[in-house]
Chain A
Amino acid sequence: MEFIYYFGDVFSPLSFALLLGGTIGGLILGATPGLSPTMAVALLIPFTFQLEAVQGLILLGAAYTSTVAGGAVSAILLKIPGAPANIATTLDGHTMAKKGQGARALQLSFLASAVGGVFGVLLLIFLTPVLAQWALAFGPSHLFWLAILGVTVIGSLDSDSVVKGLLSGCIGLWLATIGFDDIMGAQRFIFHPSLGGGINIIAALIGLFAIPQVLTMFAKGRRTQGAEVIEVQKHSVSAAAGELIRNPRALTIGTITGSIIGLIPGVGGQIAGLVAYDQTKKFSPDQDKFGTGHPEGVIAAEAANNAMVGPSLVPLLTLSIPGSPTAAVLLGGLLIHGIFPGTDLFDNHPDVAWTFINSMLIGQILMCIFGLYVAGLAARVAQVPQSVMAAVVLGLSVFGAYSVQSSMGDVYVMACLGVMMFFLERFGFSAAPLVLGLILGPIAEANFIQGSMIANATDGMGPYFFGGPLNILLMVVVAASVAYSIWMELRTRKIQNTVEVQS
């Protein structure tokens, strides 16, 4: 119950102002198609440099929470999901809006998001300290395997092709080795002076997530027509709350599914929303109504995608393994303030850890309150032409990357990585495993070297890295995640082939 002692810190004037700003800003950013939660958080990191660690994290956490919920606004009113996590919301939410029930759909979506989100953060509060203590038992070999697990799980689950996902992870791991070696001081892969200090994580994150989006907007050319926004009619919030209470099945399935999926590293909100939608449909007596503007569809999808936010931070805060690409960006936000996740965070910086977690709990409630009122404005912002959006994001990216170390070298690195990622994405590669490789690379290498030294002084490399129950368990999980993804890929291909043959 340690978290209760730090509740007051969230309400200090600056912290609360940041929480409020992050929530409202996040709702608007989330509603904007093309601005994913990951990209929004990555672009916000440079603004946290002048802040204290806890205040910076409050801003990033609020933005993470509310961008996921804000994505429902454009999903419902424009039929364009603000983020991949809101795809399932579009199925029934937009149909409801077309029937003149836009306000009802939005209210249900924000109320369900808040319930799911609060449950997810409570899970984070109660699971994190237990797992952080468990993490004390981890030695270098286990931490090495954990880092590899983080890369392989996201690499295999986040990509359409397992091999390309794992290859993206390898590219990230290699990029992390650029610069001077920590132990010997040797130069590694420094083929330009800008790379002398290695690749800066923040500049890389901005480049890998924001620049491909900018180039995608350019690639669409001059768009003559914007999306049509459906006008929102008035609807009683208490009636929506009553409807939510009368639909416990959708809310429970959504919340539980989202929480469980959030705990699995690499499985994002998109999967949480779709799985919850599918499961609610299966258990519902009104299966035929799904897809025709059924409130249960909106409730399940939104409860799930916000319920996964809190649990996705559990592996990050305890084991340094980000549960989602956005959590990977948050890890970057922690590291720039010199804070390392795990027991160090809870033993040496409990004020930072608990104030941040508490702010996410309060942020869920603020998101619900403001979401109901900001939705109309957010939908208008979502109509901003892509030309303006692309130019603004490019400008923010350049300023953001420069502000990290006041270095043009970081801006060059950001631009090169961004252009490279844009083209790689066209050929089935994914940014998330690459980022994970880049972030977890130094952790994997440090523990590999430390483990090698211990191994050479004791039983040798084989028994040290491949022996012991925990090492074997981690290797089995790595192998299982890859095998499962290969099976899923083959299954999808088989279904595609059958459809092609039939058509």
Chain B
Amino acid sequence: MTRTQHIIPSGIIFAVGCWIAWISYTQQPAEAFLFPRLISSVFVVLAGWTFGKALMGLSRVGTGVSRTMIVNLLPGLVVALVYIFWAAKTFGFYTATTVAFFILLSLYDPAPHNEARSWIKRAVITAGFIAVMYGLFAMLLKVYTPREILF
């Protein structure tokens, strides 16, 4: 794990700490920010210590982020974020979940992509999952999910 990898996150956390402290000490009414002032002061000290250690190359804890890891992670992360922040509200909860589940399964399933059997298996797993979810949340727990295209 490189020194830069330690510097970037600890720098961001230090910046967030300073921002919280600035807001806590400048916003009014002061009584409402009494506790945030206390926390943010400790936050800045600890974040500053961590950032300083990272700058000096003394940080050791953590596995860091590798290129392979990011390459593996990115497709799944993008699908998950699109599903959560856009598709669920646009297409309806169950439709979006079905599509996202199937895509994620297909992206990470070790079974070959050129076999009809593995595609059928993925479709069956997806259908089973959605049926259980619908039964649990819509029928049993009576959760009103955002409904658009299909249900």
A residues contacting B by CB (< 8 A) are 46-47, 49-50, 159-161, 163-164, 166-167, 170-171, 173-174, 177, 181, 183-184, 186, 188-189, 214-215, 217-225, 385-388, 390-392, 394-396, 398-399, 402-403, 406, 408, 411-412, 415, 419, 423-429, 444-445, 448-449, 452, 493
Prevailing SS type, chain A contact patch: helix
- Beyond A174-B20, A493-B60, 9 extra complex contacts between A and B, CB < 8 Å: A189-B23, A214-B80, A219-B72, A222-B110, A388-B109, A391-B104, A398-B97, A426-B62, A428-B61
Q: Which residues of B contact A452 (CB under 8 A)?
A: 34
Cβ contacts A to B, 15 pairs, < 8 Å: A50-B141, A159-B61, A160-B61, A170-B39, A170-B42, A225-B110, A387-B107, A388-B105, A390-B104, A395-B97, A398-B83, A412-B84, A419-B81, A427-B10, A427-B61
Q: Which residues of B contact A161 (CB under 8 A)?
A: 61
Q: Which residues of A contact B80 (CB under 8 A)?
A: 214, 394, 415
Give the CA-CA distance A396 to B88 in the complex, in Å: 14
Q: What 3 A-B pairs come out closest when comparing CB atoms? A: A428-B61, A218-B76, A387-B108
Q: Which residues of B contact A390 (CB under 8 A)?
A: 76, 104, 108
Which residue in chain A gives the minimum CB-CB distance to B140?
A50
- Are the C-beta atoms of A170 and B46 separated by less than 8 Å? yes
Give the CA-CA distance A415 to B34 in the complex, in Å: 29
Given contacts A164-B61, A177-B35, A218-B76, contact A186 B141 (CB under 8 A): no
Tally of A-B residue pairs with Cβ under 8 A? 180
- Are the C-beta atoms of B141 and A49 separated by less than 8 Å? yes
Give the CA-CA distance A188 to B104 in the complex, in Å: 37
Q: Which residues of B contact A396 (CB under 8 A)?
A: 133
Q: Which residues of B contact A166 (CB under 8 A)?
A: 42, 46
- Are the C-beta atoms of B72 and A164 separated by less than 8 Å? no
Give the shortest distance, in Å, between A244 (CB) and chain B (any CB): 38
What is the 8 Å Cβ interface bit string for chain B, positions 110-151, against chain A (1 contact, 0 not)? 100000000000000100010001001100111111100000
In-complex Cβ contact of B145 among A160, A218, A223, A402 (8 A): A402
Tier of interface size on chain B: 35 or more
Q: Which residues of B contact A47 (CB under 8 A)?
A: 136, 141
Give the CA-CA distance A219 to B108 in the complex, in Å: 10
- Are the C-beta atoms of B110 and A449 separated by less than 8 Å? no
- Are the C-beta atoms of A189 and B31 separated by less than 8 Å? no
Given contacts A47-B141, A166-B46, contact A219 B73 (CB under 8 A): yes
Give the CA-CA distance A358 to B65 in the complex, in Å: 46
